[in-house]
Amino acid sequence: DIVLTQSPGTLSLSPGERATLSCRASQSVSSRYLAWYQQKPGQAPRLLIYGASSRAAGIPDRFSGSGSGTDFTLTISRLEPEDFAVFYCQQYGSSPYTFGQGTKLEIK
Amino acid sequence: QVQLVQSGAEVKKPGASVKVSCKASGYTFTRYYMHWVRQAPGQGLEWMGIINPGGGGTSYAQKFQGRVTMTRDTSTSTVYMELSSLRSEDTSVYYCARSYIGAAGTVSDFDYWGQGTLVTVSS
């Protein structure tokens, strides 16, 4: 199974700052098959980024994804109050389609 | 618009089974896989398995092999996930999520999710 390790576990930032979240895979993941999701309390996850760098429909351009191989990054250029949540990376290139353990982005 | 609407919360005793439904609308049911993902309280996301609504083929995470069954009813565009021999560690929110069936049957990202169904296992 491909293990995804996200860092940091918690990130404390203020609105307007830049957030950088990391996802490292235990083996190479085709960048076509790496996604990022945002989850707010009591809600289902929401797709943000697919194919490592493509924004899903309706996602603001302050969200961007990059990376390849085993190292992937989600960047939020200027944090808005509604961005604070838990973020998960996921690989869907090989079964089982594993998720990282999540990064909690909290208001400082 | 695409909607995945799941059945309501359940409370079960250890050893029992639970069957959760996920009714799809707003798209061609057989063109998208359906996955089941669960989330224990305060924990992360765990993929359980996948069903192809067209042919009914399934694949389950090894952890759930022998305990989970995913089925579908194409007449109502509904998929079902049944989990048996429930234990307290199965207390979770269970989500269905769809992904496009790509060329050669490849899986895509999970672009729409159901609202989740809380299953509580308690004696």
pLDDT in 10s for each residue of chain B, 123 residues: 999 999 999 999 999 999 999 999 999 999 999 999 999 999 999 999 999 999 999 999 999 999 999 999 999 999 999 999 999 999 999 999 999 998 888 999 999 999 999 999 999
Torsion of Cα atoms, B79 then B83 then B89 then B92, to 10°: 20
Q: Is the pLDDT of residue A85 over 80?
A: yes
Whether chain A has a CB inside 8 Å of the CB on B72: the answer is: no
Nearest CA to CA, how far is A31 from chain B (Å)? 12
List the structure tokens of B81.
Answer: 């996930």
CB-CB under 8 Å, A47 with B111: yes
**Confidence (pLDDT) at A6:** 98
Mean of pLDDT values over A32-49: 97
Confidence of residue A30 (pLDDT cuts 50, 70, 90): confident
- Give the confidence band of A4 by pLDDT, cuts at 50, 70, 90: very high
Q: B118 to chain A: nearest residue by CA?
A: A42
End-to-end CA distance of chain B: give it in Å, rounded: 40
User: Searching chain B, which residue's CA lies closest to the CA of residue A3?
Assistant: B46
Residue B3 has what pLDDT? Answer: 98
The per-type count for chain B, helices as H runs and strands as E runs, is: 0, 11
Q: In what order do the strands lie in the sheet with B3-6?
A: B3-6, B18-25, B78-83, B68-73
Q: Does B107 touch chain A (CB under 8 A)?
A: yes
Asked if residue A31 has pLDDT above 90, the reply is: no
Q: Which two tokens stand for residue A46?
A: 């929401």
CA distance B95 to chain A (A): 8
Amino acid identity, position A14? S
Query: Dmax of chain A from CA atoms?
Result: 38
CB neighbours of B75 closer than 8 A, spacing ≥ 6?
none
